[in-house]
């Protein structure tokens, strides 16, 4: 059977269920790679709960003097994951986002991992398409390019052209890697065993929650295996930015999408990392950097729905035509969502940091319920001040919002604050945005760029503008309830006691009470507005 070579590992696309001998062989290989790169010494730097065994292992390490462990520990860990294959590379990428758990040197090094593997054959790609559509490829596409333009561990992309009857448009066809599911299940099972072992033998392992990290990885990886979910994410982001002059997203061709195939509009642009090429084509680089920040905060605070995999390979820029200078986003397998509570928490934290109001930061944590109610505000405030005050000894343009958020997460753990998964994803995305922005414009002042947007958003949540928006939002409900008010009041006043409870009447009475309260609120607000206008 012909496999796909990845480093020194072979991935066979048609393995249905790994046999026990194969799993044992794979486990031995993982142990061998870990030992060759000195990952055992990485663990032995910490206290193990194995009695005298650490001393035995350390003695064996001294005997194995032929190993070259001169490279930093983080570099050796990255190289080991690359040697183990694409699933472990993706796991390393996830670990790089957990900066609330990992040392910074390891997190920074793992962020360098690139999810790029050799493509699978064009014959397999065409076979997958014919399996998905139940017809020959030439009946679906007028032209299909056999050579892929991009290849990753989960899928690869080919360019194609639809038939004239379907619009004749250029499209990009994303095809799931054949047989990838059993490979993933196999390696996930091994990671789960390793995580359990780590929690058992490493005193600090329980704090790092390795089993929870593997479970999170398992969830996101299975999300990426459903291309219908990715297509829906793309469609939602496109709808959110319809008519925007900052960001454009490909149109999804739903008629040709399945769980294993996604067909979308082909986008033309230059990769964001090719800064010199962008300059040569006349793109305003400082404006591009500021636009990236605005796009991020728009996704977070306006929509509560954000692209969570914004590394340079997924971001392009339009360099021709009327939309020159617009961003193009690709690859929507991972998105983040935020509730109104999350958005309010983040906005208040950012603004409090900007004004160096550490007491408010502590209060927001307790009010949101993420810090225990019995947390002493003064102690929490002092801890936050000791972490964050050093940031303000530098110019604002040198302050990293992502780093501030990271340090906040790390400090919060001392007060038994559980960091929310959606905020970890947000913090990772914010670090990506900052890296892109400062690569484009080293003088980018992220805080000054973000502050006006945050203040506008907060003004829309509080004060008279917020009241006006809420009234508009509830107006349709009031229009339905107010005409029925006399009838409901009459029924409530004339009702007599009955042997059995009248559930409908009780419901109507509750509505009357609610409307009465609502009318008092409206009258109070109107009176307040009148007084405010007179005094003004």
Q: Which residues are catalytic?
A: 309
Look at strands 4-6 and 9-11 and give their pairing: antiparallel
Whole-Å CA distances, 434 to 277, 444, 449? 21, 9, 12
Q: 235, 332 in Cβ contact below 8 A?
A: no
Whole-Å CA distances, 516 to 53, 521, 523? 73, 9, 11
Count CB-CB contacts under 10 A for residue 507.
11
User: Rounded CA gap, 213 and 388, in Å?
Assistant: 27
Q: Is 432 exposed, middle or buried (0-12, 13-18, 19+ CB in 10 A)?
A: buried
Q: What are phi and psi of 286, to 5 degrees?
A: -60, -40
Q: 214, 199 in Cβ contact below 8 A?
A: no
Count CB-CB contacts under 10 A for residue 204.
12
142-149: long-range contacts, CB 8 A cutoff, minimum separation 24:
142/168, 144/173, 146/122, 147/122, 148/119, 148/122
What residues pair up with 156 in beta bridges, in sequence order? Answer: 151, 175
H or E, element range at 5 = strand 4-6
Return the structure tokens found at 437.
Answer: 């922005």
Q: 436, 292 in Cβ contact below 8 A?
A: yes
Look at strands 150-151 and 155-162 and give their pairing: antiparallel
Which of 175, 23, 209, 179 lies closest to 101 in space, CA to CA?
Answer: 209
Look at strands 270-271 and 247-248 and give their pairing: unpaired
Angle between helices 358-367 and 340-354 (to 10 degrees): 170
> Alpha-carbon Rg of the chain, whole angstroms?
28
Return the structure tokens found at 200.
Answer: 């058992």
Contacts of 378 (CB under 8 A, 6+ apart): none
Return the structure tokens found at 31.
Answer: 């142990």
User: Rounded CA gap, 27 and 24, in Å?
Assistant: 5
Angle between helices 421-440 and 446-461 (to 10 degrees): 140
What's the DSSP call for residue 66?
A: T
Report how many helices (DSSP H) and strands (DSSP E) the chain contains, helices first: 22, 13
156-160: long-range contacts, CB 8 A cutoff, minimum separation 24:
156/119, 156/120, 156/125, 158/125, 159/266, 160/263
């Amino acid at each position: 059977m012909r496999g796909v070579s990845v480093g020194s590992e072979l991935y066979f696309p048609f393995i249905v269920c790994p046999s026990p001998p194969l799993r044992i062989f794979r486990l031995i290989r993982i142990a061998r790679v870990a030992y060759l790169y000195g990952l055992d010494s990485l663990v032995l730097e910490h206290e193990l709960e194995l009695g005298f065994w650490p001393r035995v292992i350390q003695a064996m390490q001294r005997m194995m003097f032929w190993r070259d462990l001169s490279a930093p520990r983080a570099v050796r860990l990255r190289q080991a994951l690359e040697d183990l294959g694409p699933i472990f590379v993706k796991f390393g990428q996830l670990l790089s986002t957990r900066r609330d758990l990992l040392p910074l040197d390891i997190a920074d090094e793992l962020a360098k991992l690139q999810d790029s593997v050799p493509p699978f054959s064009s014959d397999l790609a065409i076979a997958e398409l014919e399996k998905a559509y139940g017809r020959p490829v030439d009946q679906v596409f007028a032209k299909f390019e056999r050579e892929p333009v991009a290849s990753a561990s989960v899928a690869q992309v080919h360019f194609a052209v639809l038939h004239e009857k379907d619009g004749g448009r250029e499209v990009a066809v994303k095809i799931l890697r054949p047989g990838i599911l059993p490979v993933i299940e196999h390696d996930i099972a091994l990671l789960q065993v390793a995580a359990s072992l780590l929690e058992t033998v490493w005193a600090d392992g329980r704090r790092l929650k390795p089993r929870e990290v593997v479970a999170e990885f398992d969830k996101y990886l299975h999300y990426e295996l459903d291309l219908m979910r990715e297509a829906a994410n793309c469609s939602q982001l496109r709808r959110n930015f319809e008519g925007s002059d900052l960001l454009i997203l490909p149109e999804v061709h739903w008629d040709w999408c399945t769980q294993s195939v996604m067909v979308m509009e082909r986008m033309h642009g230059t990769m964001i990392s090719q800064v010199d090429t962008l300059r040569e084509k006349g793109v305003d680089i400082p404006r591009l950097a500021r636009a990236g920040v605005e796009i991020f905060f728009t996704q977070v605070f306006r929509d509560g729905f954000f692209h969570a995999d914004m590394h340079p390979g997924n971001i392009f820029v339009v360099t021709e035509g009327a939309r020159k200078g617009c961003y193009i986003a690709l690859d929507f397998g991972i998105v983040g969502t935020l509730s109104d509570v999350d958005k309010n928490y983040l906005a208040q934290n950012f603004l409090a940091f900007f004004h160096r109001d550490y007491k408010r930061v502590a209060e927001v944590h307790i009010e949101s319920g993420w810090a225990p109610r019995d947390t002493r505000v003064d102690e929490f405030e002092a801890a936050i001040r000791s972490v964050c005050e050093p940031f303000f000894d530098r110019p604002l343009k040198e302050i990293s919002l992502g780093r501030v958020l990271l340090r906040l997460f790390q400090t919060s753990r001392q007060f038994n604050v559980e960091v929310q998964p959606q905020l970890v994803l947000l913090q990772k995305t914010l670090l990506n945005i900052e890296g892109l922005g400062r690569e484009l414009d080293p003088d980018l002042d992220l805080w000054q760029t973000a502050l006006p947007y945050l203040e506008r958003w907060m003004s829309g949540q509080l004060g008279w503008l917020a009241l006006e928006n809420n009234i508009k939002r509830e107006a349709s409900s009031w229009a339905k309830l107010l005409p029925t008010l006399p009838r409901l009041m009459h029924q409530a006043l004339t009702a007599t006691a009955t042997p059995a409870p009248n559930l409908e009447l009780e419901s109507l009475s509750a509505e009357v009470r609610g409307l009465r309260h609502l009318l008092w609120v409206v009258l109070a607000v109107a009176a307040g507005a009148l007084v405010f206008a007179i005094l003004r």
